[in-house]
């Protein structure tokens, strides 16, 4: 989300595209890729074809759309791949401190549960004939907040309580060191991903120093 060079942003988008292609359905990663290509066209091709205030505005919007697309695509790939049990096992083997282990475990588990809860609320509203969506939100924002947002916030509070109880049961607050029944190993794929991430970070550091 910083002011990195265009080449660095495109390289990051390429990494995200590969991740989505390997972890999601074709409909998901193709839709994401089409979204990125549209903004690539608006940023690089449109100003040469149509010189106007509108094209200049679209170039400005594309500057942020690239970054939002990368963040969103990374989040989708992470949700598809991450398993809370595997994450806890890896953090345990790494002897991660509690201040790192507990927040990561809660965050990894919270968002999938929150998405499922939001879908359940939307389905319940649809069965009652309310059909929440973009059109209803624009026409009746207060009603949408009453029927969707408020139940979702209540569900989020309940999910947080359940995750806290689950964390205590799994011994995250224990004084003794935890053990794992599902050990993980560092494989070739892990080395490739780590190498790519280190290369991107080094690229950004060189840009900042230069």
pLDDT band at 163 (very low <50, low <70, confident <90, very high): confident
d(CA 20, CA 27): 10
53, pLDDT greater than 90: no
Average pLDDT over every residue of 109-134: 76
pLDDT band at 194 (very low <50, low <70, confident <90, very high): very high
- Inside any domain, residue 58: yes
- Whether 102 and 64 share a structural domain: no
- Whether 41 and 125 share a structural domain: no
d(CA 13, CA 168): 38
- Whether 36 and 59 share a structural domain: yes
23, pLDDT greater than 90: no
96, pLDDT greater than 70: yes
- Inside any domain, residue 161: yes
- Whether 90 and 170 share a structural domain: yes
- Whether 95 and 72 share a structural domain: no
- The last residue of one of the domains, among 81, 113, 138, is 81
The tally of domains found in the chain comes to 2
Q: How many CB atoms lie within 10 A of CB 77?
A: 23
Whether 81 and 23 have beta carbons less than 8 Å apart is answered as yes
Which pLDDT score is estimated for 199?
A: 94
Parent domain of 118: 84-179
CA nearest 172: which of 81, 102, 86, 94? 102
- Inside any domain, residue 118: yes
- Whether 72 and 90 share a structural domain: no
Helices (H), the chain: 6-23, 26-40, 46-49, 53-81, 84-93, 98-127, 134-139, 141-144, 150-169, 188-209
Say which range, 10-19, 40-49, 72-81, 126-135, has the weakest mean pLDDT: 126-135
CA nearest 41: which of 31, 55, 28, 53? 55
- Whether 132 and 63 share a structural domain: no
- Whether 76 and 147 share a structural domain: no
- Inside any domain, residue 185: no
Q: What is the mean pLDDT of the chain?
A: 80
Whether 97 and 87 have beta carbons less than 8 Å apart is answered as no
Better-predicted residue by pLDDT, 187 or 4: 187
d(CA 132, CA 67): 29
Whether 34 and 11 have beta carbons less than 8 Å apart is answered as no
Average pLDDT over every residue of 70-97: 81
- Whether 70 and 97 share a structural domain: no
- Whether 91 and 150 share a structural domain: yes
- Whether 45 and 101 share a structural domain: no
Pull the structure tokens for residue 176.
């003794």
59, pLDDT greater than 90: no
- Whether 23 and 97 share a structural domain: no
């Amino acid at each position: 989300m910083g002011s990195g060079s265009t080449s660095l942003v495109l390289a990051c988008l390429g990494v995200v595209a590969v991740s989505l292609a390997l972890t999601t359905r074709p409909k998901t990663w193709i839709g994401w890729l089409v979204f990125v290509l549209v903004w690539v066209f608006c940023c690089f091709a449109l100003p040469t074809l149509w010189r106007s205030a509108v094209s200049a505005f679209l170039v400005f919007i594309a500057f942020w759309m690239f970054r939002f697309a990368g963040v969103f695509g990374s989040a989708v790939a992470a949700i598809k791949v991450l398993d809370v049990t595997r994450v806890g096992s890896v953090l345990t083997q790494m002897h991660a401190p509690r201040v790192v282990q507990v927040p990561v475990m809660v965050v990894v588990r919270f968002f999938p549960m929150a998405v499922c809860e939001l879908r359940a609320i939307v389905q319940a509203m649809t069965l009652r004939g309310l059909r929440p969506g973009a059109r209803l939100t624009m026409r009746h924002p207060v009603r949408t907040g009453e029927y969707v947002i408020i139940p979702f916030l209540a569900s989020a509070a309940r999910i947080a309580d359940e995750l806290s109880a689950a964390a205590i049961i799994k011994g995250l607050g224990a004084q003794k060191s935890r053990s794992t029944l599902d050990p993980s190993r560092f494989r070739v794929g892990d080395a490739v991903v780590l190498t790519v991430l280190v290369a991107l970070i080094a690229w950004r550091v060189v840009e900042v120093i230069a």
